[in-house]
Structure 1
Amino acid sequence: MKIIEVKKDIFWVGVIDWNIRNFHGHTYTTKRGTTYNAYLIVDEKIALVDTVMGTFAEEMIEKIKEIIPSKNIDYIIANHVEIDHSGAIPEVLKLFPQAKVLGTYKCKEGLWRNFYRDMDFQVVKTGDTLKLGKRTLKFIEAPMIHWPDSMFTYCPEEKLLLPNDAFGQHYATGERFDDEVKESELMEEAKKYYANILWPLSTIILKKIEEIQKMNIPIETIAPSHGIIWRRNPERIIDAYISWANNETKKKVVIVYETMWGATEKMGRRIAEGIISQGIETKLFDVTNADRTEIISEMLDAKGFIFGSSTHDNDMLPTLAGFLEFLKGLRPKNRIVSVFGSYGWAGGAVKAIEDLVKEIGLELFQPSLTIQYLPTKDELDKCFEFGENFAKIL
């Protein structure tokens, strides 16, 4: 079993979940799998920072035994109560019953509810420290990044930040560090993670980054609890988070539609051609067969959104409706939005989309485009013009 040393005497003891394809229920598709990262810090006292999904507990414990075959774990740092990080705590405590668990008060509540109340638990808060020997662990509460119990752990002697879910990616690979993988793939997965999980928490994330920057703590390595460890250029992911959290966008349009007999699809394709004619990056998705996780990721840095649907029972089609409800929970801001659609004898889809766009908190920037039955050549020309005009207001 390969032992991976993050820093001297600080080891990655996580596991790689190569085959998982859905996360958080079915809200997130993980086409590249994921990892559950845990870290063993070996000093005069030994600390395990986070664990793994319970189904992988044995694999993690085997790594730990190989590193410390005749020593005990003194502390388990629970940065987050979610079971992909805390699920193996009961198995670790069976092997090391004397270990004390440290986390926030909300973490204590969650672990007691998930597992049992007789674990030796010490509540910590921002500024509290734990001396292990040559190394110190400093705790930074990070509520709602992305659960109320979340916290970061920082080791000043190693300039190492262990932020649990922050700065992570669902990215299963045999390599563990950012200088060992393709940056394009790494940033694609980091962006996808932010867009689908952290986007609605952007204001909180900005404040937390500002708080840490004011602490003037040097950071050479960021070791999250999913995916790759940032050691070559941790500023790369911090800067990306600042950009995403500020809702910074580029001249790019994402069109998401659902069609019944092809009329709405014809409209969407022609609208896209109009936008592209103005030199604007454009992504066109049929929501019924595209990956929602990928669509949301593309929307994170897009200035323009366009939504379209055929009419069904005086409403939009159901897959697009579900997509927009999901988007509402992500709370995007400062976007330019337009709507299009088709109908037979009575409309309703376009108005339903408009109403939901307003619920999301976004503003409609030009009159919607509605066409009855299949679009004629002249009507397709209007779709092209609709796209041109949308591009010009970006």
Structure 2
Amino acid sequence: VISNHTEMDHSGGLSRVMHRIGEDKPLYCSKMGHKNLSKHFAQKFNYHPVENGGELKIGKRTLSFMETRMLHWPDSMFTYAKEDRILFSSDAFGQHYASLERFDDQVGEAIMPHARKYFANILLPYAPLILKLVAKVREMGLPLDMLCPDHGIIWRKEPSKIINAYVEWSEQKPKRKALVIFDTMWHSTEAMAETIVEALGDEGVEAQLLKLRASHRSDIITEALDAGAIIIGSPTLNNGLFPTVSDFLTYMKGLKPQNKVAAAFGSYGWSGEAVKLINQELEATGFKVIDPGVRINYVPDEEGLKACRELALKIAQELPV
């Protein structure tokens, strides 16, 4: 048995497999995999930790192992079957996609949005490591007929297509695109959001209006992958942020998106902390906050909406042409 990854969606059936074939049978894994698996399973399996670059001969086949630490756990590794020219890539190049078909050429282009969403929500924090890994794999010149991730379909028609896509997504080059992400209590913050989106569109920016109670955070993060600007809006609630906004900011910060400018806006009744708190989270995420933000007491009037349009213009000037 070869274990490329310890996480339970990969190793959850290991006890049953080892019981079926015999717990004395060899179990190959990375050194960190040995450490992690022994913390997950009480049985004393016959572990064989492998070296990075090590090989295993099994009959007519040769398997080689490549450590891929933090893609996306410390124990992760790839296994390459030399004679078959197959790379078993664990979580990398996967998708959360259920299909009756097994291969990319049987599914077509419909698979790419799922692969992009998977990358954005699982592997994005490790984008710098992915670029180094892809460079290393290309340098090794491994012949590759098939790329087999542990989730979703298998890439056999054109494995290089998903590899090239990973490079593009990892580079996170910003487009002239902005996401206006918000939630609202009595529609005042919503009116501000709509004004900002309209003004961004007037400046030739691809602007999306994303209300958090109607848009799943994983879909928003996928759209954020190539966005040049993130604008967050929230009313002040109990001296803090609206819960859906707080949730999204926490989720986004953990994924560490890069190369973005940002700004905040929101309405309030009497205390008005939301914009300040949003700015703190945006800065903690690593974004360039380009404006103190727009705060409007209760319902926006024409002067308040003008401030929203001015914020949009300032954002547009920061984006690539």
The interval holding the TM-score normalised by the smaller chain is over 0.9
Whether the 8 Å CA contact 2:30–2:49 is kept in 1: the answer is: yes
Equivalent in the alignment of 1:327: 252
- String of CA shifts for 1:197-235, please: whole Å, max 9, x gaps: 111111111111122122121222111000011111111
- CA 1:144/1:94 → structure 2, altered by over 3 Å: closer, same or farther? same
Shift of 1:381: 3.8
SS at match of 1:175: coil
Equivalent in the alignment of 1:291: 216
Matched, 1:260 2:185: yes
The CA distance in 2 between the partners of 1:391 and 1:82, in whole Å, is 42
- String of CA shifts for 1:105-146, please: whole Å, max 9, x gaps: 211122222123421111102111111222211000111111
Equivalent in the alignment of 1:346: 271
Matched, 1:218 2:132: no
Equivalent in the alignment of 1:248: 173
Whether the 8 Å CA contact 1:166–1:224 is kept in 2: the answer is: yes
Shift of 1:385: 3.7
Matched, 1:168 2:94: yes
Whether the 8 Å CA contact 2:174–2:259 is kept in 1: the answer is: no
Gaps of 5+ in 1: 1-75
Q: Which amino acid aligns with 2:72?
A: H
Matched, 1:233 2:158: yes
Alignment of 1:1-394 (within 5 A): 76-97=1-22, 98-183=24-109, 185-394=110-319
SS at match of 1:324: helix
Whether the 8 Å CA contact 2:173–2:259 is kept in 1: the answer is: no
The CA distance in 2 between the partners of 1:190 and 1:95, in whole Å, is 34
SS at match of 2:83: coil
The CA distance in 2 between the partners of 1:382 and 1:203, in whole Å, is 37
Task: Detail structure 1 runs of 4+ shifted over 6 Å in the superposition.
Answer: none
Whether the 8 Å CA contact 1:136–1:157 is kept in 2: the answer is: yes
Higher helix share: 2
SS at match of 1:198: helix
Shift of 1:378: 4.1
Aligned length: 318
The CA distance in 1 between the partners of 2:147 and 2:253, in whole Å, is 31
The CA distance in 2 between the partners of 1:128 and 1:273, in whole Å, is 57
The CA distance in 2 between the partners of 1:210 and 1:190, in whole Å, is 20
Give the % identical residues: 41
The CA distance in 1 between the partners of 2:130 and 2:206, in whole Å, is 28
Q: Which amino acid aligns with 2:108?
A: K
Q: Which amino acid aligns with 1:109?
A: K
SS at match of 2:115: helix
- String of CA shifts for 1:78-104, please: whole Å, max 9, x gaps: 000111111111111222115311001
Gaps of 5+ in 2: none
Give the TM-score normalised by structure 2. 0.95
Whether the 8 Å CA contact 1:339–1:368 is kept in 2: the answer is: yes
Whether the 8 Å CA contact 1:338–1:366 is kept in 2: the answer is: yes
Moved more, 278-287 or 118-127: 278-287
Q: Which amino acid aligns with 2:36?
A: G
- String of CA shifts for 1:20-79, please: whole Å, max 9, x gaps: xxxxxxxxxxxxxxxxxxxxxxxxxxxxxxxxxxxxxxxxxxxxxxxxxxxxxxxx1100
SS at match of 1:223: strand
Whether the 8 Å CA contact 2:32–2:75 is kept in 1: the answer is: yes
Equivalent in the alignment of 1:28: none
Whether the 8 Å CA contact 1:170–1:189 is kept in 2: the answer is: yes
The CA distance in 1 between the partners of 2:49 and 2:314, in whole Å, is 57
Shift of 1:361: 1.7
Equivalent in the alignment of 1:67: none
Q: Which amino acid aligns with 1:252?
A: K
Give the TM-score normalised by structure 1. 0.78
Q: Which amino acid aligns with 2:155?
A: W
The CA distance in 2 between the partners of 1:165 and 1:345, in whole Å, is 48
Whether the 8 Å CA contact 1:342–1:370 is kept in 2: the answer is: yes
Whether the 8 Å CA contact 1:277–1:388 is kept in 2: the answer is: no
Q: Which amino acid aligns with 1:211?
A: K
Shift of 1:294: 0.5
The CA distance in 2 between the partners of 1:369 and 1:382, in whole Å, is 7
